[in-house]
Amino acid sequence: MRVVRTGIGRRIACAVAVAALVAGRSHPAVAQHLLLPMDDDQGNHLKAYGIMYNALKAGMKGEWFLNYRGGSFLLPDTPELRRETALAGVTAQRIDDAALADVRGAMAQGNMDAIPLEKAPAIAIYAPPKSPPWDDAVTLALTYAGIPFTTVWDDEVLDGDLSKYEWLHLHHEDFTGQFNKLYINFRGAPWFLEQVSRDMATAKRRGFATVPDLKKAVAEKIRQYVDAGGFLFAMCGATETLDLAIAARAVDIAGPFSDGTPMDPDADAKLDWTRTFAFRNAHLEKSSSVTSMSDIDGHQVNVPSRRQPLGVFKLFDFSAKFDPVASMLVQDHRTVIPDFYGVTTSFTRTTLKPTDVVLADEEGAPWVKYIHGDYGKGSWTFLGGHDPEDAQHAVGNPSTDLALHPNSPGYRLILNNVLFPAAKRKPLKT
């Protein structure tokens, strides 16, 4: 387990402690507020999320102004926060009570609402002890924004450590135990052989016969985590393979790679979709020579004969007052965003459950890009694709430098999910 902390969070925490002491021995001042606009006036959208997260972590309260200037944030006006926003290149505007009242009045008249943000969620990222030769967009986003997180892997998940966290992220990991079928093209690569050896050793040490059995158990623990109230965000191949692993508890879907036995030709009929998060009635890819897991992914980027071209996807416009959860997840300064490939790029409409909330899709296409749903006491959100600023990302490519993309609308979708668990639930208006 590895904990990643940031300097900005420590500085804000110290500032809050000093401000409390000063407030205790001085006369109350006129209330002032700090507005972080999230429209095109914002200098650094991504680091604005870090300012908000670390202010909450330090004990401050804030608000998320849904659909107001791109989903703006409101915080108390303190010298320390003004200094932090300046250092981060984040645009912040000081407003008084009268100006804030005008903003609230305007919001009341349109498709806007104010959501209180109260507590920074504890964040875990499911990632191997040694990072593979490609990057994780969420790790990049959190690191750039200055948001602390802890990495966990199979042992921590199986030992019940997920209960320590409100928010869990998964990326391109393969929960079917087939290593994303990278053995087709990278079977001799040292990094791939190391992954296989590591996971086989873990499976043996934990009492599992195969890596697929290990990963099924991990997937089940993640399912239980969400069912008990956790927030799950997944991208890329983790979205598809997590549900496949949960559905396959009574059947081996790893096929020849696990033990040399061909996949059961009737495996599709034996899958149990009642316990999965997002998908149903998918058809497994039964060939070990085809780099695809199922027909959940609409783009099939790694299968040349099936690969679909990239287009653009459009964020849905939800009612901030009646659908605050969906509204939080799509806050952005752009509504149309260029698409990007991943091990799983998109989700075919025919495999979606009827309860899924589609947050973004490509108009007229048989697939969607961004989905959300409730599960037990918790919720999940799936975003297809690997890296919003690297549409053709391939194994071995260098990591994206987010200092070159501080206003990325695609990376904003990731960071919306980080703050989503911090929101205080408001009763729906009737």
Residue pLDDT, tens place only, 282-326: 998 887 777 888 999 999 888 888 889 999 999 999 999 999 999
Q: Is residue 429 part of a domain?
A: no
281 and 170 fall within a common domain: yes
Give 263-299 as a DSSP string: PPTTHHHH--GGG-SSB-S--B---TTSS--BSS-SS
pLDDT at 367 over 50: yes
> What's the chain's average pLDDT?
88
135 and 95 fall within a common domain: no
127 and 111 fall within a common domain: no
Residue 29 belongs to what domain range? 2-117
pLDDT for 426: 54
Name the 3-class secondary structure at 404.
Answer: helix
Q: Is residue 10 part of a domain?
A: yes
Please enumerate in sequence order all residues whose Cβ is within 8 A of that of 273, keeping only pairs 6 or more positions apart, or say none: 247, 279, 280, 281, 353
Please enumerate in sequence order all residues whose Cβ is within 8 A of that of 205, keeping only pairs 6 or more positions apart, or say none: none
**DSSP H or E stretch at residue 9:** helix 7-24
161 and 112 fall within a common domain: no
pLDDT at 22 over 50: no
Domain limit, last residue, from 117, 147, 165: 117
Domain limit, last residue, from 117, 142, 164: 117
Answer yes or no: are the C-beta atoms of 36 and 90 closer than 8 Å.
yes
61 and 187 fall within a common domain: no
Of the candidates 14, 17, 423, the one whose C-alpha atom is nearest the C-alpha of residue 231 is 423
More confident residue, 211 or 31: 211
Q: How far apart are CA 365 and CA 367, in angstroms?
A: 5
Distance of CA 204 to the CA centre of its chain: 31
Q: Is residue 287 part of a domain?
A: yes
Number of neighbouring beta carbons within 10 Å of residue 194? 13
Read off the pLDDT of residues 194-228 as tens digits, 9 standing for 90 and up: 888 899 999 999 999 999 999 999 999 999 999 99
Q: Is residue 203 part of a domain?
A: yes
267 and 383 fall within a common domain: yes
Of the candidates 334, 313, 324, 311, the one whose C-alpha atom is nearest the C-alpha of residue 412 is 334
Domain limit, last residue, from 101, 117, 133: 117
159 and 80 fall within a common domain: no
Looking at the chain, how many residues does it have?
430
pLDDT for 427: 52
Name the 3-class secondary structure at 338.
Answer: strand
Q: Is residue 344 part of a domain?
A: yes
Read off the pLDDT of residues 52-92 as tens digits, 9 standing for 90 and up: 999 999 999 999 999 999 999 999 999 999 999 999 999 99
Which of 34-38, 97-101, 194-198 is least confident? 194-198
Which of 95-99, 252-256, 412-416 is least confident? 252-256
More confident residue, 16 or 167: 167
275 and 178 fall within a common domain: yes
Q: Which pTM was predicted?
A: 0.90
pLDDT band at 175 (very low <50, low <70, confident <90, very high): very high
Beta strands in 10-122 (DSSP E): 32-36, 62-66, 72-76, 93-96, 113-117
Q: What is the domain count for the chain?
A: 2
29 and 157 fall within a common domain: no
DSSP state of 164: G
> What end-to-end distance do the CA atoms of the chain give, in Å?
46
351 and 209 fall within a common domain: yes
Please enumerate in sequence order all residues whose Cβ is within 8 A of that of 121, keeping only pairs 6 or more positions apart, or say none: 165, 166, 167, 231, 418, 421, 422
276 and 414 fall within a common domain: yes
pLDDT for 425: 61
101 and 141 fall within a common domain: no
Q: Is residue 337 part of a domain?
A: yes
Strands 167-170 and 149-152: what pairing?
Answer: unpaired
Q: Is residue 428 part of a domain?
A: no
Q: Is residue 430 part of a domain?
A: no
Q: Which class for 245: exposed (0-12), middle (13-18), buried (19 or more C-beta within 10 A)?
A: buried
Structure tokens at 307: 């690969």
Q: Which class for 338: exposed (0-12), middle (13-18), buried (19 or more C-beta within 10 A)?
A: middle
Residue 347 sits in a domain whose CATH number is 3.40.50.880
